[in-house]
A = this chain, B = another copy of it.
Amino acid sequence: MKKPWTLDPDRLLSSEPSRRSVARSLYEEIKDLPLICPHGHVDPALLADPEATLGTPAELFIIPDHYVFRMLYSQGIPMEELGVPTLDGTPVEQDHRKIWQRFAENFYLFRATPTALWLTDELVNLFGVEEKLDGESAQRVYDHLEEQLAKPEFTPRALFERFNIEVLCTTDAATDTLEHHKTLYQDGWEGRIRPTFRPDAVVNLDASGWHENIERLSEVSGIEVVDYKSFIEALEQRRTFFKEVGALATDHSATSPHTERLSPAQAETIFERALRGDRAADDAARFTAHMLLEFARMSVEDGLVMQLHIGSLRNHNQAIYRRFGLDAGADIPLATDWTRGLHALLNEYGSDVRLVVFTLDESTYSRELAPLAGHYPAMLLGAPWWFFDSPVGMRRYLEGVIETAGIYNTAGFNDDTRAFASIPARHDLWRRVSCEWLAGLILSGVVDEEDAREMAREFAYGLAKRAYGFG
């Protein structure tokens, strides 16, 4: 055990002593606030089943995490050798110790990335690992993790309490029957785990399996989807159902934020073409642009917060997509035109709906999104997303957005993760970075200490809670 592994208690704070001291004092006040998790991808089964575990170290840290395996893949390590399951039956590595060894030998690749920060925080602070991870220490660390993961205090439900999570929202297909959420409701977890209505798979006409998804929609909604009108009715039925099981929000992903209303006849024609399987070239894009408006209308009517996650060209690497499917680390952002894209939506619903918007094009923070959020009552700007959920990403967000939009037109933080055990590490990173940024504002006389303390609390807790209307 050559290299003791510790984390700097003042990590992510400034090295300038007066600023560090102010930042630390802000951070101390808010670091233990409960976690509000309004958007993420944790599997509700983890919590619904009291017997669920986090699996092996490889299952916990590597196999399901596209942040991790994309980096290893980028350096020539086949995803099959990391145990990532294939759709086409290609065999993958089954020995989790071997997968872990490969990962540990290459852990240096993550230097200076947020993934390294999250993983180190988890390994050291959550699991108590005491030696630095590399190829030499790999198996000893594996032993230690296995031992810890077998303990009752590392079951998901135990961790949920330990993490001090006030509310956790999952993301669920429109066709999901939310059995786990119902179980949790019955188990007394009402309001703590909430579903989010995500209809992409039935809305995006070129989604793979769209016909099957529509059949499933008919089945679960009890409304036979035979045309556009019944499609809308089925969606509305699902929203009502999601609300009954606790949903407060929807989520919509699209390549472009373009919104444009089709006439009822156009919408019907396009939908029928899709049902018949003879879509025209731009049908899917036009239909999505229209449906974003329809979902805004529904949100005005039923009060669900509407989230937009826009601007990624999904499945850029087609060979990887064919073998491994969605979310395989090959979604690549695009330049995004929010100003023109949201024009129709904000003109129809800009005072009525609650809209939370996430971007992967940082050039739009100051150019488009902060001006839009700083004008339209409907719109809040979501936290720095995906690649930008990182120390410098967060700083660019704060610097690019707040001078124009203020903090009260933002929606606070969300962890957007499927890695349940990483949730506290992610919130902690945000809390540190926002306090460090506020310390700079205090010391440069931009805000006073009283205001900064309130702002720190808002960033950590209040903004997200109000944005989504939690309790």
Contact = CB atoms under 8 A, between A and B. Distances in A.
Most buried by B among A334, A367, A387, A392: A367
A115 to B, nearest CB: 9
Contacts of A8: 444-445
A186 B348 CA distance: 52
A326 interface: no
B367 A110 contact: no
Nearest to A319: B347
Contacts of A391: 403, 444, 446
Interface in A304-350: 313, 316-319, 329-335, 337, 339-340, 343, 346-347, 350
Interface string A102-119: 000000111111101100
A423 interface: no
Nearest to A9: B445
B374 A390 contact: no
A108 B451 contact: yes
A70 B375 CA distance: 5
Interface stretch (A12-20, A47-55, A174-182, A261-269): A12-20
A344 B255 CA distance: 18
* Identical copies in the complex: 3
A313 B339 contact: yes
A335 B332 contact: no
A440 B16 contact: no
Interface in A233-253: none
Contact of A445 (B12, B329, B361, B396): B12
A360 B367 contact: yes
Interface string A370-383: 11111111010000
B74 A374 contact: yes
Interface of A: 3, 7-8, 10-16, 18-19, 70-71, 73-76, 108-114, 116-117, 132, 313, 316-319, 329-335, 337, 339-340, 343, 346-347, 350-351, 360-363, 366-368, 370-377, 379, 387-388, 390-393, 396, 399-400, 402-409, 440-441, 443-448, 450-451, 454-455
5 contacts: A7-B445, A74-B377, A74-B409, A116-B446, A390-B404
Given A15-B440, A332-B368, 17 more contacts: A11-B444, A15-B16, A15-B18, A15-B443, A109-B408, A112-B446, A113-B403, A132-B448, A313-B339, A318-B347, A319-B351, A332-B372, A332-B375, A361-B363, A387-B404, A391-B446, A392-B399
